[in-house]
Every structure is written in C-alpha cells, then in structure tokens.
C-alpha cells in the first residue's frame, strides 16, 4: 500500500474512476482483479450479483491506471451474457457441411477420434500452439506430454511471434527478459520515443499517462512509424515516417549521430557495456545522408531526433514488439537497447535515465513468454 500511495503521488495523470455497471440495486460483492485485454495491466474491480458479472470499475489506488479503464476493459464483460455467444458444442462432420449441435460427450468423442486418427497416420501430423499465459510448470508438463508422450516435435506458441522477441533483446541487453523500467518512469520522462507503438489505440490508458507526463514535464514525443497513426496525429512532436523494414538503419544512424555529437558518456559505456567499439565501427558507415536515403526521411528530422535524445536528461524508449517484428525482430530490440546504452545517463540519478519498456505483455498478460520459448523445446 505504501508503494501504491507513493506512485499515486507521482503519477502524471489524475485519478478517475471509470465504470460500467448494469444491475438493479447494489452488487452483492466486488472482486479485485486486473484487465488482461491489452498489456497495460489495469487494476479493476468486478461487480457480482446473483453469481453473475454485472459490471466493472477501475481501482483508484492502483499504480498502473489510477481508476482509468480502456474501452476493452470497460465494456468487454458485456459479451458474457450476449445472445450470440455459443451455448453448446457444434460439430462439422464433413468439409462444407453445416455445424450441428451436439452434446459434450459427443463433441469430446468426435475430437478424440480425429486426434487418434491423425496420430496413427504419423506423429508429425500433430501440432501444438500454446500461449504465454501458462506457468513455467505448465509449459514443462506440456512439453513432456507433447514431445515425450505423443512423440511430436511440432510445438510452438504465439510468444515466438510476440513477447519472446522483446524478451530476447532485453535478455541480451540487460540480463533480464522483463522491461528495465516501469510506468512510474514515464511520469518522469521529458522525452518519449515510440517505435512502431500505436499507443493511442493499443494501450489507451498508458497513452493518457504519456500525454499527461508530456504536459506536466513540458516534454516531447518522437514516433517512429511508417503510418500516420492516431498516436502520431494526437501527440507526436516529431514523426519519423520511415520505410517499412528500415528500423535498423534508422537506429544505426541515430547512434552514429549520438557518438558524433558527443552525447555518449564513454566512461560509463566502457565500464558497464561490451562491444561498444565494434558497434561504433558498424554505425560509422551510417551517415545521415545514407540513413535518410534508406529510410526515406529528411536529414533534418534525423538530426533533430538525435539532438533531442542526446540533450534530454530524462527520456524513455518504448518499442512495441510487433512494431519492430520481422525475421530479425529480436536484433531490432537489441539495437534499441544499444541506443539506450549509448546515450546512458542512468548512473547520474536513479530512475532519471533512458528506460526501455517493450510495450508488450511481459509483465502481466504473458508472463510465461520466455519459458514458453525455452522449456517445451528442452523437455
């Protein structure tokens, strides 16, 4: 509670209790929970009456959202009682045939027969696609069952195309697969750099917090995105509208300028990082003109971004994993980490230097992303 009060006092956005309740009279009870419909992790309370969910409200003392709720968190519960929601199992007995209502026993028997037929034809016919919501123990058990019991090596999860990308880059940079910052750091930031992160639509509560921090700290926001997204239109002070697939070139160019402009604390970098000289030799080839040609942006925009990053004491880098995802998505997160290290001032004052937040579900919605990538393939 002490932590919550401390965060509440420092938060850049004002507390506001959003709610959506539909019932006669007062709910029987309120259940503490958290929204998992985006990666923000907003605290909320669920209203229960006669054993049914009848509404939600934001928690005013929660350090993530201070009572604010996004549209999904506020309205998604209504789907629980939707008349269009499936009420019983349905089976399609042949390709092109209509779905038929069946009992649970019939549905399970149908599934098991199809599953067994596929397994007997060849174990490679089976594939398992999991998520990051499982615990490490569940991932381990699933791996044993699938590879050891069913003898199929076809097991993967959405985290390989999602959170594990950010986790790989963060692990290589900082030795931990979780973000090296928290939302409290955003409240202190004077410059926020968003890489492919359309926060205005994807994380509406976090976007409110960013805009409030920008206003309070008289700060700036840089957005790197090929699209003119709502985030660009609503809050960007500088939009680097690069060509798709040119993220690494842009990052190399920014590091090149940071080094050239003397914005790098070389003593700190050499004491606390490795490979700086190698990186310096690589980015030396990425002159502003070359980067501008590759990325399709103006040299002045590139130089402005580097000047803001190099001269601002408190700034943060918030890449969205999908915004930099491709065949080398992890490498792009890695370059972002190197960019942070190059401009590092973290040692001068605690929580006042570059922060990296994957903009993903690492802390909340997909805590098993790293285990999901490793354990099923080790069992």
Split at pLDDT 50, 70, 90, the class of 327 is very low
- Among 104-108, 130-134, 140-144, name the most confident range: 104-108
Predicted local confidence at residue 108, as pLDDT: 97
- Among 113-117, 140-144, 297-301, name the most confident range: 297-301
Model confidence over 264-273: pLDDT tens digits?
A: 888 888 887 7
In angstroms, the CA 134 to CA 140 distance is: 10
Residues belonging to the chain: 379
In the chain, CATH 2.20.25.90 covers 11-81
The more confidently predicted of residues 169 and 283 is: 283
Angle at 364 between CA 358 and CA 366, to 5 degrees: 80
Q: Could you please state the CATH topology (level 3) that the domain comprising 179-343 is classified under.
A: Dimethylsulfoxide Reductase; domain 2 (3.40.228)
Rg of the Cα atoms in the chain: 24
Predicted local confidence at residue 306, as pLDDT: 92
Kindly state the percentage of the chain with pLDDT values over 90.
45
Residue ranges in 196-275 assigned as alpha helix (H):
199-202, 204-217, 230-235, 247-260, 266-272
The more confidently predicted of residues 148 and 302 is: 302
In the chain, CATH 3.40.228.10 covers 179-343
Tokens at 336, concatenated: 């972002």
End-to-end CA gap in the chain: 40
Residue 348 has pLDDT above 50, yes or no: no
Model confidence over 198-249: pLDDT tens digits?
A: 899 988 999 999 999 999 999 999 999 999 999 999 999 999 999 998 988 9
Residue 353 has pLDDT above 70, yes or no: no
C-beta separation of 93 from 328 below 8 A = no
Residue 312 has pLDDT above 50, yes or no: yes
In angstroms, the CA 2 to CA 23 distance is: 34
Residue ranges in the chain assigned as alpha helix (H):
2-10, 71-75, 104-121, 136-143, 163-174, 183-188, 199-202, 204-217, 230-235, 247-260, 266-272, 276-283, 288-295, 299-311, 329-342, 369-374
- Residue for token pair 């509208």: 241
Tokens at 38, concatenated: 């985006």
Residue 173 has pLDDT above 90, yes or no: no
Q: Which superfamily does CATH assign the domain made up of 11-81 to? A: ADC-like domains (2.20.25.90)
In angstroms, the CA 136 to CA 14 distance is: 37
């Amino acid at each position: 509670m002490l932590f919550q009060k401390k965060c509440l006092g420092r938060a850049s956005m004002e507390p506001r209790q959003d709610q959506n309740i539909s019932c006669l009279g007062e709910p029987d009870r309120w259940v503490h929970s958290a929204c998992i419909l985006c990666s923000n992790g907003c605290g909320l309370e669920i209203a229960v009456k006669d054993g049914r969910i009848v509404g939600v409200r934001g928690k005013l003392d929660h350090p993530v959202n201070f009572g604010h709720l996004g549209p999904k968190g506020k309205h998604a519960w209504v789907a629980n009682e939707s008349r269009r929601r499936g009420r019983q199992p349905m089976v399609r007995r042949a390709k092109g045939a209509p779905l038929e209502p069946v009992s649970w026993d019939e549905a399970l028997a149908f599934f098991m027969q199809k599953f067994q037929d596929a397994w007997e034809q060849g174990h490679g016919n089976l594939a398992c696609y999991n998520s990051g919501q499982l615990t490490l123990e569940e991932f381990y058990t699933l791996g044993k069952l699938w590879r050891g019991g069913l003898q199929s090596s076809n097991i993967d999860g959405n985290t390989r195309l999602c959170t594990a990308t950010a986790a790989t880059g963060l692990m290589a940079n900082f030795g931990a697969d979780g973000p090296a910052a928290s939302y409290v750091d955003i409240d202190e930031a004077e410059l926020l750099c968003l890489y492919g992160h359309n926060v205005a639509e994807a994380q509406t509560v976090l976007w409110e917090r960013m805009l409030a921090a920008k206003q309070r700290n008289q700060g700036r926001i840089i957005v790197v995105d090929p699209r003119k997204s709502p985030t660009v239109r609503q809050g960007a002070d500088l939009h680097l509208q690069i060509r798709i697939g040119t993220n690494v070139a842009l990052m190399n160019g920014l590091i090149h300028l940071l080094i050239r402009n003397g914005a790098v604390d070389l003593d700190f970098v050499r004491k606390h990082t490795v490979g700086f000289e190698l990186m310096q030799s690589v980015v030396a080839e990425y002159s502003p003109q070359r980067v501008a040609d590759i990325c399709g942006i103006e040299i002045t925009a590139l130089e402005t971004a580097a000047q803001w990053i190099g001269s601002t004491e408190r700034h943060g880098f918030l890449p969205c994993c999908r915004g930099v995802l491709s065949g080398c998505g992890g490498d792009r997160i890695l370059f972002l980490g190197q960019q942070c290290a190059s401009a590092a001032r973290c040692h001068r004052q605690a929580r006042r230097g570059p922060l990296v937040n994957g903009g993903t579900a690492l802390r909340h919605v997909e805590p098993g992303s790293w285990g999901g990538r490793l354990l099923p393939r080790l069992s």
